[in-house]
């Protein structure tokens, strides 16, 4: 199930990256690159920081195939994908939860302290979108209005709380991902956002 959610999240990030690039009127190569960095940019940055090389997607070509499939789907069905925006949002939200957990686990494998693991989880889930927005000439969405990275941090804190009270590992994964997904859905439904900071 965890691997299936990882595939769905990767595919959703690839499609959302491709659609963003198409909105910027990029050529097919540019669209493919944006789809790629949206999907694996955060994980790549995480792996480089913790010295895990070659990085994850280079060791598993399935990620390349999934991202390429997402790119092709977005290219062929770009005019019809608006109808599936809700489904894409759900996959994106699932990806947020799953990628946060993957980042947390990679940090634990390296024996890092909880705050660093939480930072790695947040980076894994969010920084593909950050790189996408920068390459597309935009201020990253997570720095402007959406409660996105904050949700990953809350999920990471909850993850380590559950570990501290000795809950079985499978339940920790389940509860943490459900919390992240639930907060993300509520943030969008109720239009939650952090206040902006302006110069006086």
Give 154-168 pLDDT, tens digit per residue: 999 999 999 999 899
Q: Based on the number of CB atoms within 10 Å of its own CB, is 31 exposed (0-12), middle (13-18) or buried (19 or more)?
A: buried
Residue for token digits 């913790």?
Answer: 50
pLDDT the model gives residue 156: 96
What phi and psi values does residue 191 have, to the nearest 5 degrees? Answer: 55, 45
Instruction: For residue 177, give both structure tokens.
Output: 């991902």
The confidence band for 82, taking pLDDT boundaries of 50, 70 and 90, is: low
pLDDT the model gives residue 191: 82
CA gap 180, 100 in Å, rounded: 9
Residue 94 has pLDDT above 90, yes or no: no
pLDDT the model gives residue 88: 66
The confidence band for 83, taking pLDDT boundaries of 50, 70 and 90, is: low
SS3 assignment for the chain: CHHHHHHHHHHHHHHHHHHHHHHCCCCHHHHHHHHHHHHHHHHHHHHHHCCCCCCHHHHCCHHHHHHHHHHHHHHHCCCCHHHHHHHHHHHHHHHHHHHHHHHHHHHHHCCCCHHHHHHHHHHHHHHHHHHHHHHCCCCCHHHCCECCHHHHHHHHHHHHHHHHCCCCHHHHHHHHHHHHHHHHHHHHHCCCECCCCCCC
Average model confidence (pLDDT) across the chain: 87
Over residues 21-69, the pLDDT tens digits come to 888 899 999 999 999 999 999 999 999 999 998 998 999 999 999 999 9
pLDDT the model gives residue 26: 93
pTM summary value = 0.87
CA gap 61, 79 in Å, rounded: 29
Instruction: For residue 131, give both structure tokens.
Output: 């790189």
Tell me which of 66 and 170 has the higher pLDDT.
66
Over residues 115-155, the pLDDT tens digits come to 999 999 999 999 998 999 899 998 887 777 668 889 999 99
Q: Which of 16, 34, 23, 21 is nearest to 85 (CA)?
A: 16
pLDDT the model gives residue 32: 95
């Amino acid at each position: 199930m965890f691997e299936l959610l990882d595939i769905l999240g990767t595919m959703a990030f690839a499609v959302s990256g491709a659609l963003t690039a198409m909105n910027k009127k990029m050529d097919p190569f540019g669209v493919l690159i944006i789809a790629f960095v949206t999907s694996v940019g955060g994980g790549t940055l995480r792996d480089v920081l913790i010295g895990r090389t070659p990085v994850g997607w280079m060791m598993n070509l399935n990620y390349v195939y999934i991202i390429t499939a997402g790119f092709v789907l977005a290219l062929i069905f770009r005019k019809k994908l608006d109808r599936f925006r809700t489904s894409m949002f759900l996959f994106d939200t699932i990806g947020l939860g799953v990628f946060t957990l993957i980042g947390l686990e990679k940090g634990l494998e390296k024996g890092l302290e909880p705050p660093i693991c939480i930072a790695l989880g947040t980076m894994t889930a969010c920084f593909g979108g950050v790189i996408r927005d920068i390459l597309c000439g935009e201020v990253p969405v997570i720095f402007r209005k959406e409660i996105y990275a904050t949700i990953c941090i809350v999920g990471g804190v909850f993850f380590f709380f559950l570990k501290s009270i000795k809950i079985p590992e499978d339940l920790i994964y389940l509860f943490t991902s459900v919390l992240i997904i639930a907060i993300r859905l509520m943030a969008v439904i109720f239009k939650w956002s952090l206040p902006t900071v302006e110069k006086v």
